[in-house]
Structure 1
Amino acid sequence: MFAHPLKESSPHKSIIFYRDFQEYTGGHQKVADYFAHLKSTSDFNPAIVFASNSRWDKSNPWFPECQHQSHDYSPDNYDYAFLAGMDWQMYLSSSYSKNQPVINLIQHVRHADPTQPMHRYLSERAIRICVSPEVAAAISATGKVNGPVVTIANGIDIPALQPQLKQYDVFIFGPKNPHLAAELNTKFTQQGINVLCVSDWMPREKLLLMLASSRIAVMLPNPTEGFYLPALESMRYADITIVPDCVGNRSFCQNQKNCLIPEYNGPAVEAAVCEAMQFLQQPEQLNIFKRNCAATLEYHSLQRERTEFLALMAQVDELWLQR
């Protein structure tokens, strides 16, 4: 199934992916989603190569299907290459055709930051798919982007769960900001609030159950993100989501409509929790809030993302010729 798909051996267009998988991240998951989008159609034949020391267990989205592949990373044997993050490093050190269309998934605004290692690859020719309008604006503003830039807002597949008892007043998700998470946990506990604080990464299934068991979810992103998918998961399961601005969430996080967006500091987040608690006492307003969340989630579906991506791939050769 994953034999070396040489260009001349198949009527379908072949496309090569590369991953160095050390731990589960949202970035890896999104690349896996794009791989699955291509697998869903008979028009493309995607293949993937992993770094030799990649981790293989249930945390890897390609496990076990892609674990035992033997072909080397030779992009010039494929019609297209799909790159994300630092995959450019491997691609440019391998054999590839100068005329090979490259699809580059851009998942963070930090690609626009000259101090970041991935910034230098903006000058490499590629068709760039940005996961949010904020990411597209950030890289375009550099004036260094070589090739077309398109935006396909992230989609997400959120599984249905059995209704959970709302046993926590406040859930704090803080692996990306453990210091603030601990500070908030201490203050809320002192106030007699039933709080659950998580500062370490955990399996997604466990996270979703915790969200579903909470009235208010405080989601702490990095100061800047390309999108921040956990906010959508929280909108699905918690009654009220609190998430500070992190740039990449501006297009789908709407203050007072589907979440609360405080400034990113302790006092502001504390005030937002107090506001959320008052919100919970207003059933009519809370129902409007939840309907807004449902509309946000409906738009950010994995199917919509797939449809937009496959439409792009149908014209990838024409896009590649654009200057």
Structure 2
Amino acid sequence: MPLRVLFYRDYSAFSGGHLKVWDYFQHVRSSDRHRAEIFLDPASAPASPWQGDPGLVDRYDPEGADILFLAGTDWTALAAHPGIEERIPVVNLVQGLRHARPETPHFGFLSRRATRICVSPAVAEALRATGICNGPIHVIPNGIDFDLLPEGTAAASADVFLGGAKQPQLARALAARLQAEGYRVDLQIEPLPRQDYLARMAGAPIALLLPFAEEGFYLPALEAMALGRVVICPDCGGNRSFCIDGETALMPPAALAPLAQAVAEASRSPGLAQALRQRAREISKMHDIRTERAAFLDLLRHIGPQ
């Protein structure tokens, strides 16, 4: 009988974190040895990826699962089951550097036993540095499904796609400056459905992306690379394994003048732009979703009843 892997989500709106949990849910579903189930918190928004999914259950019963899959603050759903991680194995997907910060609620979960999957080497290093993690730490870099990316063959609708939802004040100021300098800018501030976001990103030769100061991975930069865009993206910690300044991306400080200068550099140097695109595409191919799936399923087969 397949092992029951139980997920939990409190889904308010689309985010990269929810997207990656959805990917892992699909990884489990692809396994003959496991059955993927998920409970959505009653306060969850209706338009989640799991809406109408056959794996959706109407009661959260962690004691009846063979394996628990948790991410973010999902640990709080186990409040009525103290010490359950000593009875039921837990797989904990860790997507952010904030988990290693003592002032966050995530930090308090690190002492609870789990097999932890970190989405980047930077996250794994941060967790190990705390010295309090209970259980093994593995790195499975985030992957992307290349089949879901738009073709990107249409004529460019803008010179620069500016993804600024996480830094709206800087993004608006930067868009104004670039437009004053003659660039056509597609400024994205409001959240978009993922396919719309990717389509707009594909509509400009340069993807100027503004992450938070700290990110566990930052998937949009990798997606832009896979789309063949020239990527301009400040350092955010978790992007260092694929955003390599001057090789796969331009990585100026997250400030108005250096970001605008990077756009000018990429626009006026066709040779540089071509070299960045080529190397970025090569490194993006190392992040195929199938590689992520294979690594996770290899790990999962050693967890739970044998």
Instruction: Indicate the TM-score class for this superposition, using the shorter chain for normalisation.
Output: over 0.9
Q: Deviations over 1:125-163 (max 9, x none)?
A: 111000000000001101111111010001111324241
1:53 to 2:40 alignment: no
SS of the aligned residue for 2:205 comes to: strand
User: Which residue pairs with 1:33 in the alignment?
Assistant: 23
Whole-angstrom CA distance in 2 between matches of 1:120 and 1:278: 49
Whole-angstrom CA distance in 1 between matches of 2:266 and 2:27: 38
Deviation at 1:207, TM superposition (A): 1.2
Question: Which residue, out of 32, 55, 77, partners 2:64?
Answer: 77
Whole-angstrom CA distance in 1 between matches of 2:98 and 2:149: 33
Whole-angstrom CA distance in 1 between matches of 2:263 and 2:81: 51
1:42 to 2:32 alignment: yes
Q: Deviations over 1:70-121 (max 9, x none)?
A: 2x21111011101000000002324746321110000000000111111100
Question: Which residue, out of 2, 20, 26, partners 2:10?
Answer: 20
Deviation at 1:181, TM superposition (A): 0.2
User: Which residue pairs with 1:124 in the alignment?
Assistant: 112
Query: Is the 2:144–2:287 contact (alpha carbons within 8 Å) kept by the matching residues of 1?
Result: yes
Deviation at 1:238, TM superposition (A): 5.1
Query: Is the 1:18–1:49 contact (alpha carbons within 8 Å) kept by the matching residues of 2?
Result: yes
Whole-angstrom CA distance in 2 between matches of 1:65 and 1:87: 20
Question: Which residue, out of 74, 79, 101, partners 2:89?
Answer: 101
Question: Which residue, out of 271, 288, 304, partners 2:291?
Answer: 304
Q: AA paired with 1:111?
A: H
SS of the aligned residue for 1:250 comes to: coil
1:178-193 map, 5 Å: 178-193=168-183
Deviation at 1:290, TM superposition (A): 2.4
Q: AA paired with 2:80?
A: S
Q: Which runs of 5+ in 1 are unaligned?
A: 1-10, 319-323
Moved more, 294-303 or 92-101: 92-101
Deviation at 1:262, TM superposition (A): 0.8
User: Which residue pairs with 1:153 in the alignment?
Assistant: 141
Q: TM-score, normalised by structure 1?
A: 0.89
Q: Which runs of 5+ in 2 are unaligned?
A: none
Q: TM-score, normalised by structure 2?
A: 0.94
Pairs aligned (count): 302
1:203 to 2:193 alignment: yes
SS of the aligned residue for 1:210 comes to: helix
